């Protein structure tokens, strides 16, 4: 619009052309390119939002004050997402879902048939008609926490660098500052999907949250064991499954082994056995420990354990040779329980740590073979004073609490070289 300033005496008159569309002062919205569609009878706007903008247009959840229309936020889970995005350059995350009760304005582009246009989204604070979150609270909070942490660390590192006197310290701080700035710069250029559902009715909006929660099928631990390659116990799964005892006998979908499941164990349980052989039943597979292990060494250790128990226990040899089904094994032997297999794996780890040879461990396990009948009896070794708390009466498996499994491993290991 033309603008004529106040003319002072002796000055030449002039007219300025000002593009007021570029003036954002007083505006409490941001504009995004979006697609408009229908889903379930509702208008849905689909767009991509820079990570830096999330806390501007979506409310940042407060773990201490849950949204009455949403679930309580777990701060640890939120932080883990922020750390994941920050440390994995190839991160992936599903689209966020939000509700618009009338605050958004859509301006369709010409020749787009009303399907593509500019979407004005109100800011999340101090604005009438701000969006509310249907799904994605942890992603929003986690991103906010990580961006704020990086900003604070950069400020502190920059301040420390200005005070540094020694060359070595200054060099280290410069390297750290460059690393932090690079991490922040990457996040500043990345975005996440956002679907905004137009729903003015607050009751129906609550139902949307329930419907999303009810229809979302969470990933089972078995599927995580198959596809999550960030953990060595999962990454080595396919090679571990090549062993004769497991091949074709592992449930790749279910986490729980029911009595009539035709498989011996599940993929999750194979990962549990792998961890037990590598670090013990109660051991933690930390990032540092993972970095010290190689995939080849882990696979070798698990196969050595499986060789050991297949040779030591006739029932498992029969399963490996196809002479005995997993269902029949569970009906008559403790070896059909995941818990007992984990105890044996933990014992194998403990004895190897004492530099006991694999052949000697096999011979020791063979002395346990006569005591593997299920259910356990009060006269047997598993219901005596040392292990009584680890087996319920007439049980076909040990108590699965970690503390019980660890205790049982310690007792069985103390019996080496033969069962008393």
Contacts of the segment 254-257: beta carbons below 8 A, 24+ positions apart: 254/220, 254/222, 255/220, 255/221, 255/222, 257/330, 257/338
The confidence score (pLDDT) of residue 6 equals 57
Tell me the mean pLDDT in the region 241-261.
89
The confidence score (pLDDT) of residue 255 equals 75
Domain boundary among 191, 215, 239: 215
Domain boundary among 181, 215, 249: 215
Whether residues 123 and 272 fall in one domain? no
Top-ranked range on mean pLDDT: pick from 10-24, 113-127, 161-175: 113-127
Whether residues 251 and 378 fall in one domain? yes
Whether residues 246 and 386 fall in one domain? yes
Whether residues 335 and 370 fall in one domain? yes
Element holding 404 (H helix, E strand):
helix 402-415
Whether residues 314 and 192 fall in one domain? no
Report residue 197 as tokens: 């559902």
The confidence score (pLDDT) of residue 108 equals 96
Domain boundary among 188, 215, 242: 215
The confidence score (pLDDT) of residue 322 equals 96
Q: Taking the CA atoms of the chain, what radius of gyration do you get in angstroms?
A: 31
> Does the pLDDT at position 5 exceed 60?
no
Please indicate whether residue 223 or residue 167 has the higher confidence score (pLDDT). Answer: 167
Whether residues 196 and 261 fall in one domain? no
> Does the pLDDT at position 122 exceed 90?
yes
Whether residues 163 and 107 fall in one domain? yes
Element holding 43 (H helix, E strand):
strand 42-50
Whether residues 170 and 146 fall in one domain? yes
- Considering its fold, how many domains does the chain have in total? 2
Whether residues 127 and 187 fall in one domain? yes
> Does the pLDDT at position 11 exceed 70?
no
Whether residues 124 and 179 fall in one domain? yes
The confidence score (pLDDT) of residue 202 equals 84
The confidence score (pLDDT) of residue 302 equals 97
Whether residues 239 and 203 fall in one domain? no
Domain housing 116: 30-215
């Amino acid at each position: 619009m033309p603008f004529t300033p106040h003319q002072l005496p002796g000055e030449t008159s002039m007219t300025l052309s000002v593009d007021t569309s570029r003036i954002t002062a007083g505006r409490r919205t941001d504009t995004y390119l979006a697609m408009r569609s229908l889903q379930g009878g509702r208008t849905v706007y689909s767009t991509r939002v820079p990570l830096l903008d999330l806390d501007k247009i979506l409310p940042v959840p407060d773990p201490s004050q849950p949204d009455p229309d949403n679930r309580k936020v777990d701060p640890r889970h939120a932080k883990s997402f922020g750390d994941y995005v920050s440390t994995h350059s190839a991160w992936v995350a599903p689209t966020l879902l939000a509700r618009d009760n009338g605050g958004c304005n859509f301006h369709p582009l010409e020749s787009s048939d009303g399907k593509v246009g500019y979407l004005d989204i109100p800011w999340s604070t101090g604005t009438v008609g701000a969006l509310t979150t249907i799904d994605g609270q942890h992603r929003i909070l986690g991103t906010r926490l990580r961006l704020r942490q990086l900003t604070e660390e950069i400020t502190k590192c920059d301040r420390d660098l200005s005070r540094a006197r020694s060359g070595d310290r200054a060099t280290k701080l410069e390297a750290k500052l460059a690393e932090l700035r690079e991490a922040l710069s990457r996040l500043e250029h990345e975005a996440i999907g956002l679907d905004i559902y137009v729903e003015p009715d607050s009751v129906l909006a609550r139902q949307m949250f329930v419907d999303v929660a009810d229809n979302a099928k969470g990933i089972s631990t078995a599927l995580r064991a198959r596809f999550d390659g960030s953990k060595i116990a999962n990454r080595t799964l396919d090679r571990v499954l090549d062993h004769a005892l497991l091949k074709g006998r592992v449930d790749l979908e279910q986490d729980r082994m029911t009595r009539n499941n035709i498989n011996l164990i599940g993929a999750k349980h194979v990962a549990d056995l792998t961890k037990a052989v590598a670090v013990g039943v109660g051991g933690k597979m930390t990032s540092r420990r993972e970095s010290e292990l190689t995939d080849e060494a882990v696979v070798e250790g698990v196969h050595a354990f499986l060789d050991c128990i297949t040779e030591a226990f006739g029932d498992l040899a029969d399963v490996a040779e196809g002479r005995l089904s997993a269902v029949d094994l569970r009906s008559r032997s403790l070896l059909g329980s995941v818990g007992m297999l984990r105890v044996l794996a933990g014992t194998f780890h403990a004895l190897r740590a004492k530099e006991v040879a694999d052949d000697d461990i096999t011979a020791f396990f063979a002395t346990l073979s006569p005591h593997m009948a299920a259910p356990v009896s009060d006269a047997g070794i598993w219901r005596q004073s040392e292990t009584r708390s680890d087996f319920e009466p007439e049980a076909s498996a040990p108590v699965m609490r970690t503390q019980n499994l660890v205790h049982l491993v310690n007792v069985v290991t103390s019996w080496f070289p033969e069962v008393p």
